[in-house]
Amino acid sequence: MSHNPHLPQALYDYLVAHNPPADPLIEDLVEETAAMGNIRSMQVGVEQAAFLGFMVRLLSARFVVEVGTFTGLSGLAMARALPEGGRLLCCDVSEEYTSVARRYWKRAGVADRIDLRIAPAVETLRALPDDRSVDMAFVDADKENYPLYYEELVRRLDPSGVIIADNLFMNGGVVDPEPPPAALAMTDFALRLQADPRTETVIIPIGDGFSITRLADG
């Protein structure tokens, strides 16, 4: 199973053991992704996936947007949690990695509720209706473009909706004396969230750090 580098292994194992259990399908997906080598770090942790599914159910979200799909674990968790008639829009640029996602979504019986768009995510987001129809969004893609994705999603966010973004910690890079460019981008993004009068945001230490944003008047 995936591991959170910010926790001792024993504590992470305890966390996973006391969350909703990962079924054989999720275990298969995690193992297949792990076999890809270092790129596996792009996959969310099983505890993050459980949290995302929980949030979909908590919000009774009917339209969810994901920016950055990779091999599909987060999308699988969110799609499974959708109510009848709910839809998940997934944005990614890789046919290779999302082909894995498609296989597992089909195995899970949720492929019919997922719309996967292979294109630059900002183009897909800008093509969405200009109304507040997004109940929940999850952003886990190229860090430099988080502000672009955020702006397109905020203007379409339902008053009771949330935007969740991953990698606010960048594996600790945000507090390095000489942070890498992606970590600098995430620090700038965190400052942007903090200063935005339209919204309120909390950052929680799940996985590599989630920000959770809602409209200030939501």
pLDDT in tens, 26-54: 999 999 999 999 999 899 999 999 999 99
> Does residue 1 have a pLDDT over 70?
no
Question: Is residue 1 a part of any domain in this protein?
Answer: no
Question: Is residue 96 a part of any domain in this protein?
Answer: yes
Question: Is residue 58 a part of any domain in this protein?
Answer: yes
User: What pLDDT score was predicted for residue 25?
Assistant: 95
C-alpha to C-alpha distance for 194 and 54, rounded to whole angstroms:
25
Averaged pLDDT, 60-80? 98
Q: What percentage of the chain exceeds 90 in pLDDT?
A: 87
Which residues have C-beta within 8 Å of that of residue 70, sequence separation ≥ 6? Answer: 33, 42, 43, 92, 94, 97, 98, 101, 140
**In whole angstroms, what separates CA 34 from the centre of its chain?**
18
203 φ, ψ to 5°? Answer: -115, 130
C-alpha to C-alpha distance for 74 and 56, rounded to whole angstroms:
11
Question: Is residue 140 a part of any domain in this protein?
Answer: yes
Mean of the per-residue pLDDT values of the chain: 95
Q: What percentage of the chain exceeds 70 in pLDDT?
A: 98
C-alpha to C-alpha distance for 49 and 26, rounded to whole angstroms:
10
Question: Is residue 3 a part of any domain in this protein?
Answer: no
C-alpha to C-alpha distance for 176 and 163, rounded to whole angstroms:
26
CATH of the domain at 159: 3.40.50.150
Split at pLDDT 50, 70, 90, the class of 2 is low
Nearest to 72 by CA among 50, 41, 99: 99
Model pTM? 0.95
User: What pLDDT score was predicted for residue 130?
Assistant: 93
* Three-class secondary structure of residue 46 per DSSP: helix
Cα dihedral 123, 125, 142, 88, rounded to 10, equals: -130
User: What pLDDT score was predicted for residue 49?
Assistant: 96
Question: Is residue 97 a part of any domain in this protein?
Answer: yes
CA distances in angstroms from 156 to 1, 63, 132, 151, 214, listed in the order given: 35, 11, 4, 9, 12
Count of domains observed in the chain? 1
Which structural domain, as residue segments, surrounds residue 119? 9-215
Question: Is residue 2 a part of any domain in this protein?
Answer: no
Question: Is residue 4 a part of any domain in this protein?
Answer: no
Q: Is 141 exposed, middle or buried (0-12, 13-18, 19+ CB in 10 A)?
A: buried
User: What pLDDT score was predicted for residue 3?
Assistant: 66
Averaged pLDDT, 82-87? 97
